Chain A
Amino acid sequence: MWRIRIHGRGGQGIKTASQILGSAGFYSGFQAQDFPLYGAERRGAPVIAFTRISEDIILERGPISSPDIILIGDETLLNDPQSAPLCGAEPTTLIFVNSSHTPESLSQKFSLITANLNDLCLQHLNNRTVYSSALSAVGARLLGNIDLQDLLQAVEDELTPHGISSSALKGNLDLAREIFASLQPVDILRKEEKVLTAKSLVLPSQLPVVDGAPIILEPGNMALRKTGNWRVERPEIDYEKCNNCLICYARCPDGVIGIAPDGRPEIDYDHCKGCLICAQECPGHFIHTVREMGTFP
């Protein structure tokens, strides 16, 4: 069995990538299974999806804790402790990162491949933030056992229900074809079966109700949760032109635009999720959006 884990953010097509890969594997004659894992659906929040492809019946379900291939669509996740995309990776695990860089710390430990999918996505889809076709094409090619025709069929079958136009579909097919041609299959080492040992289970002890019920006594602890890395695009205020009307301050649904001592609006980038409502609302269009990529300088 080949276990593929895909990391990205809400809105990047991560779940769809796992489904294209699942269908492509299925069309190529394998047993296949795919499954997404996310909380309340939120654009920009970390998302994980899983695809299992096997010659035999798949007797597994749920998350993949020990993957053969990890496909990381958004390199900013590498530094996100909540996402932990490298969790469960072993030296044999093949890791693909959508990046124009090769993080040295990673390449020393793992079998690492990087490619910049953003430019390819922009070229074929006129969009740099949706990776469903690109990532699934990477997975299919690296696996080496999936036919190009099956991959393209899967792209078409999985994207059509989303109601995309024929030109957008053609773009996705071209994108998948180009990525498929640009990579080479990788020999994925099979993991050795480990001897099953019993977990040591704990008999729970009763706690006082203040701890035994889901009670939160500390208000405002969301400040500790830095949601800034959910952003795919970053709003930037052009202070040369900003006239301090503060409409952005009033419209920000998360209250992360504050007022500086000199009266200017100020964006708290630790918590701004990049919804870009401020940019939409700014009467003079003085808030620009900047694509954010790159954990590594």
Chain B
Amino acid sequence: MKTQKKIMLTGNKAAAWGARMAGVEYVPAFPITPQTEIVETLAKWFADGTLQGKFTNMDSEHSMFMAAGSAGATGVRVFTASSSQGILHGMESLYTITGWRTPMVIVNVSRALATPITLEPDHNDVMSTRDCGLIQLHAETCQEVFDFILMGYRISEDPEVCLPVLVNLDGFYLSFTREPVLIPDEKDVRNFLPLYTATQPVFQASRPMARASAVFGGATYTSFKLQQELAARHAEKSFNQVAQDFKKYFGRFYGPLETFHLDDAEYVFVMSNSFATKGKSAVIKLRQQGIKAGLLKLRLFRPFPSEAIASALGGCAKVAVIDQNLAPGMGGITYPEIVTSLYSRKDRPEKILSVIGGLGGKDIEDQDFMAIIDHLDKPDRGTPLYLYDEGDVKGFNRLQQIAKFNEALK
């Protein structure tokens, strides 16, 4: 095993360390809670010479992502970060730069979307970037944040991928949570992730080129879009190769999915990001009560590892997909993707329940997991199960009394 130091880091600091150890050369930045700590930390490192390259404060996330893509097209290693309203503001640029096929790593610190505006996490922000053509890795721990950034550059810079990789972590629950993180020696990181040399033509002053050409005609557009699709699909293979390599260098292995007590599980929770830790804890407690629960955690969300998910959940009796996001009028966003993956399997679960929870940072507690088990045993009621309880109603009513205080109407 190589030398690695272990230090207490927040998820944000772990992200900054990931960028630092990757040797990033350009960081366009725009602050937003709960992400700001990442770019603040990097700004300091660029200022004191720890990092060589350029850190630029941009005027918005829209220009920030365009700057990131443009810098990637010059052949330097690029990092940037955003969150919530910010990543939505940059949405047009995200679709644009994935089409340019320039590598980079983007960190999104999940925060729920307005309205009502809030700072706490859920996954509607990152889910909205689901179809941009980004490769998405979702982190449960600060260690995963750090490791996924290093892996992310390898995947993004794979000549057969050349798509931006987005690493997601939950605001507050991970971004501001400190826990021990192993940081390897820089020379060991260099063996795993050498400094960047572009494998594709890049912008040079001496050599004009265009990489955002307009096309007229659906067939040409389709050709380029299908190439993006093939590259994104190839990223699953790339992820698996990089994961093997990562294990070889650092001893930690990451599959596209993590299974937890899944082998004999009768009840399975499908989760992602930091709340998966809560799910694991509930699984242990439920098992102590004789309930055979298990958990499937999604790490690689784009490309969607349908085969791996179908293999993991095939043969499980009852599955609950917990979405910390909401598509109003539809329900959970990952639920239909999981169901689709299983549809053609003969051994598909007898019941797959859609659960909505953790919106706007609302906690998911052990009793919620027990409520899900109860619900999985009941006949189907058709709609998603909302993790919303008496206490929530009470608190909401109290707030309404203040908001609609009679005196205000006079």
Contacts and interface: CB of A to CB of B under 8 A. Distances in A.
Interface of A: 39, 204-217, 219
Interface stretch (B106-114, B219-227, B297-305): B219-227
B159 A215 contact: no
B209 A214 contact: no
Interface band, chain B: 20 to 34
B227 A210 contact: no
B224 A213 contact: yes
Interface stretch (B210-218, B256-264, B344-352, B379-387): B210-218
Contacts of B234: 206
Contact of A206 (B208, B210, B216, B230): B230
Main secondary structure of the interface of A (DSSP, over half): loop
Contacts of A215: 201, 209-211, 213
Contact of A219 (B101, B159, B209): B209
A214 B99 contact: yes
Interface of B: 99-101, 159-160, 162, 199-201, 208-213, 215-216, 223-224, 226-228, 230-231, 234
A212 B201 contact: no
17 contacts: A39-B216, A204-B226, A204-B230, A205-B230, A206-B234, A209-B200, A211-B227, A212-B227, A213-B100, A213-B227, A214-B210, A214-B212, A215-B201, A215-B210, A216-B209, A216-B210, A216-B213
B284 to A, nearest CB: 43
Given A209-B162, A209-B200, A204 B227 contact: yes
A132 B211 CA distance: 39
A204 B162 contact: no
Nearest to A217: B209
Given A209-B159, A212-B231, A215-B201, A204 B223 contact: yes
Nearest to A38: B216
Given A215-B201, A219-B209, 11 more contacts: A207-B227, A208-B159, A209-B159, A209-B162, A210-B200, A213-B100, A213-B101, A213-B224, A215-B211, A215-B213, A216-B210
Contacts of A212: 101, 162, 224, 227-228, 230-231
Q: Which of A204, A208, A213, A219 has the most CB of B within 10 A?
A: A213
